[in-house]
Structure 1
Amino acid sequence: MSRFARLLVLPLALLAAAASHAATREGSAAHFFTYRPASDQQAKFEKGYRQHLNWHRRHHDPLVWYGWTIQDGPRQGMFVDASVGEPFAAFDRRVDPGGDGVNFRKTAAPYATAIQSSSYVLLRELSSGFPLEQRQPSRVVQVVHYRLHPGGAGHFERALQIMRKVLSSTPDAPPHTWYRLTVGGAPEYMLMIARDNWASYDHFNPRAADLFGGNETALREFAKAVSESESETWQYHAELSYLP
Structure 2
Amino acid sequence: MRKTRFFFILGFVCLLALPLLAQEKPGTVGVVFIVKPKAGMRQQFEQANKRHIDWHRQQKDTWAVTVWEIVSGDRIGQYGYGTFGHHWKDFDGHAKFDEADMADYLANVAPYVEPVVASYSIRHPELSRPMEGDATLSEVVEYHLNMGGESDFLLAVRKVHEAIQKSNYPMYYYVRELYNGGEHPTYVFVFPHKNWADFEPPEQTFLAMLEKAYGRDEAESLLKLFDKSVRSVRSQIIAYRPDLSYSPSAK
Tell me the TM-score range normalised by the shorter chain. Answer: 0.7 to 0.9
Alpha carbons 1:67, 1:238 under 8 Å: kept: yes
User: Which whole-Å CA distance do the structure 2 matches of 1:107 and 1:228 have between them?
Assistant: 37
**Match of 2:101?**
100
Q: Quick check: 1:152 aligned with 2:153? A: no
Paired AA for residue 233 in structure 1: I
**Match of 2:36?**
36
User: Which whole-Å CA distance do the structure 1 matches of 2:194 and 2:187 have between them?
Assistant: 23
**Which structure: larger Rg?**
2
Q: 2:189 aligns with which of 188, 191, 198?
A: 191
Q: How does 1:206-217 map to 2 (within 5 A)?
A: 209=207, 212-213=210-211, 214=216, 215-217=219-221
**Match of 2:66?**
66
Percent identity over the alignment is: 24
Q: Residue 200 of structure 2 aligns to a residue in which SS?
A: helix
User: Which whole-Å CA distance do the structure 2 matches of 1:75 and 1:203 have between them?
Assistant: 25
Task: List gaps (5 residues or longer) in structure 1.
Answer: 1-18
Q: CA deviation at 1:172?
A: 6.0
Q: Residue 101 of structure 1 aligns to a residue in which SS?
A: helix
User: Which whole-Å CA distance do the structure 2 matches of 1:32 and 1:233 have between them?
Assistant: 16
**Match of 2:198?**
200
Alpha carbons 1:129, 1:176 under 8 Å: kept: yes
Paired AA for residue 39 in structure 2: S
Q: CA deviation at 1:207?
A: 6.5
Q: 2:237 aligns with which of 226, 233, 239?
A: 233
Q: CA deviation at 1:77?
A: 0.5
User: Which whole-Å CA distance do the structure 2 matches of 1:172 and 1:122 have between them?
Assistant: 21
User: Which whole-Å CA distance do the structure 1 matches of 2:100 and 2:131 have between them?
Assistant: 31
User: Which whole-Å CA distance do the structure 1 matches of 2:140 and 2:72 have between them?
Assistant: 10
**Match of 2:5?**
none
**Match of 1:14?**
none
Alpha carbons 1:212, 1:218 under 8 Å: kept: no
Paired AA for residue 192 in structure 1: V
User: Which whole-Å CA distance do the structure 1 matches of 2:210 and 2:153 have between them?
Assistant: 12
Q: Quick check: 1:82 aligned with 2:82? A: yes
Q: How does 1:1-150 map to 2 (within 5 A)?
A: 23=24, 26-94=26-94, 95-129=96-130, 137-150=134-147
Q: CA deviation at 1:216?
A: 2.4
Alpha carbons 2:66, 2:81 under 8 Å: kept: yes
Q: Residue 74 of structure 1 aligns to a residue in which SS?
A: coil
Cα RMSD for the two superposed structures? 2.4
Q: Residue 230 of structure 1 aligns to a residue in which SS?
A: strand
Paired AA for residue 241 in structure 2: H
Distance 1:184 1:203, change over 3 A: same
Q: Normalised by the size of structure 2, how large is the TM-score?
A: 0.80
Distance 1:232 1:208, change over 3 A: farther
Distance 1:210 1:120, change over 3 A: farther
User: Which whole-Å CA distance do the structure 2 matches of 1:159 and 1:84 have between them?
Assistant: 26
User: Which whole-Å CA distance do the structure 2 matches of 1:110 and 1:163 have between them?
Assistant: 45
Q: Normalised by the size of structure 1, how large is the TM-score?
A: 0.82
**Match of 2:172?**
175
Structure 1 runs of 4+ with >3 Å offset: 169-172, 203-214
Alpha carbons 1:212, 1:219 under 8 Å: kept: no
Task: List gaps (5 residues or longer) in structure 2.
Answer: 1-19
